[in-house]
Structure 1
Amino acid sequence: MTIAPETAMESAEAAAGARRDLPPSMVERMTLILDVFQGRDSRHTLEDVARITNLPRSTAHRILDQLVRLDWLAHTSFGYSLGRRSLSLGGGAGDHSELRAAAAPYLHDMLLRTGAVVHLGVLVGHQVHYLDKMGGRFAAIAPSRVGGWAPAHCTGLGKAMLAWIEPEEVDLLLADHMSSRTPRTIAELGDLHLELGRIRSRHGLALEMGECFENIACAAAAIRGPRGPVGAVSIVGEASMPLERVAPLVVDAARRISQDLFGDLATGPNRNRIVSAH
């Protein structure tokens, strides 16, 4: 098929015009991409981003990769979403008011019944973001703070949530971020997947003994919705704290918060869908 010279010229002019319409600077193109993500639950594929921004696919991919490396975006098997830096702007990791309100009475109850430090956290990329912290005498020396961050792979909160994420997504989140914090840190993906399998076999109970900070023990469980973990609660104390005594409290609190937030959806047939444990 032969294309008439006029048609070919018109196509070339249209392509040139489209190129001229692209933002000229990298900052403008990055801003264009970030504007695609309208909230903490916003997820888009590469194709979505290229279509919405009208950027060439290769250009969009290159900028997305840079934004992920700098923690402005996170990348998982479900697509791209806002990363730690984006969610931290303004002092918080998105709007978690409903989650915090639902968890508050259970955190307070666990504090009264144990006297230990209790936490509420969410998973953001490869890290845990602390939304709430309540504590008694141990609170001052527990190295955590509201608004702070900790590695997901070596904290009770993080492992509790990672246990209910597909193994392939765990690999994407943690492949480049599994450094050792203490001699007890699980620093290999294969070993971590075995640990996540044990957590699932304990009905979601995650235990941590000096993996993130030495001389600190933790029991945690994830708050789960129909699409996976939305947060986690934990009880933290000295290494000598009897975890077997507090473990049922934290598992029960996470289950009740899930039900308060999601009703029957929190305990639906897809809640445990993990295809493999590596």
Structure 2
Amino acid sequence: MTVVDTGPAVDAPMRKQLPPSMVERMTLIMDAFEGRTTRLSLEDVARRTRLPRSTAHRILDQLVRLRWLEHTPHGYGLGRRALGLGGDGTHNEIREAAAGRLHHMQIQTGMVVHLAVLDGAQIRYLDKIGGRFATSVPSCVGGRAPAHSTALGKAMLAWLAPEAVEAQMNEGMGRLTHRTIADTETLHQELNRIRQRRGLAFERGECVPGIACVAVAVRGPEGPVAALSLVGHARTPLEKVAPLVADAARHVSLHLFPGLETPGRAHHATAVQERATWSPQTLDRLLATGRNGDWL
């Protein structure tokens, strides 16, 4: 019985040039993914690598099984192992996408701005832009904090499945202050409130006494990839600046994942950042207090 390969036609001279070893073919496939936001179909991979479709499919399955790649309804993408090895490059991509919005938020409010990613039960700060309050906020680029005690962490955890949250919190939930959430039941209740607020996460004195924060996750097709926040002292009117954070997170998401608002994807509620409901005029009005210098 003859098996017919239904993939792209490859002429004889080209077949002779195909890499002979499995390692070389796997490398070809991994090189087809340019970054964490790249999503490719089987046909895309076969075309980019010039491998027969059946060969590409077989290797993709192995890479997914070994967690070098992941397979979602939106296609193949880099998996946990690949992102772990290339974390710095991935984080640079997120920093570059968020830089303009971070500076805009800091200028508009004079507050401290954070960018962070989720790393197990902790968050890792990728960027910090300070106002006059910066020295009172004990965070630093590259530093970490427990995810359950920060608005940044809770903003990202809110978009994970409950079982994934349980897995992330398997290291325990210690208290940093008397206000820190210290059990998973209370945490799940808080995450549900965050989802009901369209992703707005708040914390007042849960991580550091006297400091308050509002954060929103940057979301991609498979869930949260980062979060942005504004930080002030405990009496800061965070509700007034929350729309600015939500708007910034949405723009960063669309910068990283340009296809999120295409008609074919608009119905995926967990994948699409909600369209901004605040006009520039509304944002200006909400931020008028900040311009007068009395946020802090």
TM-score range, shorter chain: 0.5 to 0.7
Q: CA deviation at 1:260?
A: 1.7
Match of 2:268 in 1: 270
Higher deviation after alignment, 256-265 or 100-109: 256-265
| 1:122–1:130 CA contact under 8 A, matched in 2 | yes
1:114 aligns with 2:109: yes
Give the Cα–Cα distance (whole angstroms) in 2 for the partners of residues 82 and 153 of structure 1.
24
Please give the per-residue CA displacement for 1:72-113, whole angstroms capped at 9, x wherever unaligned. Answer: xxxxxxxx94599x77x9xx7553222111101110010011
List structure 1 runs of 4+ shifted beyond 6 angstroms.
37-41
TM-score by length of 2: 0.62
CA contact (8 A) 1:228 1:271 kept: no
Alpha-carbon offset, residue 264 of structure 1: 3.8
Question: What is the aligned counterpart of 1:145 among 136, 140, 144?
Answer: 140
Paired residues for 1:26-37 under 5 Å: none
The answer on 1:213 being equivalent to 2:211 is no
Residue 123 of structure 1 aligns to a residue in which SS?
A: strand
Give RMSD over aligned pairs.
Answer: 3.0
Alpha-carbon distance between aligned partners in 1 of 2:117 and 2:82, rounded to the nearest angstrom: 13
CA offsets 1:113-166 (integer angstroms, 9 cap, x no match): 110100000011111010000011111121100011011011011000000011
The answer for the alignment partner of 1:123 in structure 2 is 118
Identity %: 52
Q: Which residue in 2 is equivalent to 1:261?
A: 256
C-alpha contact (below 8 Å) 2:121/2:171 kept by paired residues: no
Q: 2:166 — aligned with what?
A: 171
Equivalent residues in 2 for 1:198-209, closer than 5 Å: 198-209=193-204
Q: Which residue of 2 aligns with 1:226?
A: 221
Indicate conservation of the 8 Å contact 1:223/1:254, yes or no. yes
Q: In structure 2, do the counterparts of structure 1 residues 93 and 208 end up closer, same or farther at CA, with 3 Å as the change threshold?
A: farther
Q: Contact 1:204/1:222 (CA < 8 Å) preserved in 2? A: yes
Structure 2 residue runs of 5 or longer lacking an equivalent are 1-29, 37-60, 69-78, 272-296
Q: Distance in 2 between matches of 1:167 and 1:83?
A: 25
1:262 maps to amino acid: F
- Give the Cα–Cα distance (whole angstroms) in 2 for the partners of residues 99 and 240 of structure 1: 31
Task: State the Cα distance separating 1:191 from its structure 2 match.
Answer: 0.6
Q: In the alignment, is the contact (CA less than 8 A) between 2:215 and 2:227 conserved in 1?
A: yes
* Partner SS state of residue 140, structure 1: helix
Structure 1 position 245 matched with structure 2 position 245? no
What residue is the counterpart of 1:56 in the other structure? Answer: none
Residue number in structure 2 paired with 1:14: none
AA aligned opposite 1:121: A
CA distance in 2, matches of 1:258, 1:105: 13
Letter in 2 for 1:97: N
Question: Per-residue displacement from partner, 1:207-250 (whole Å, max 9, x unpaired)?
Answer: 01110111000000000000110100000011111111111111
Secondary structure at the counterpart of residue 220 of structure 1? strand
SS in 1 for 2:135: coil
Counterpart residue type for residue 164 of structure 1: W
> For this pair of structures, how many residues does the alignment match?
203
3-state DSSP class of the match of 2:155?
helix
Change (3 A) 1:196 1:272: same
Distance in 2 between the 1:162 and 1:83 partners?
Answer: 22
Contact 1:118 1:233 in 2 (8 A): yes
Query: Which residue type is aligned with residue 200 of structure 1?
Result: R
When residues 171 and 94 of structure 1 are mapped into structure 2, their CA distance, relative to the original with a 3 A threshold, is farther
Q: 2:184 aligns with which of 189, 202, 218?
A: 189
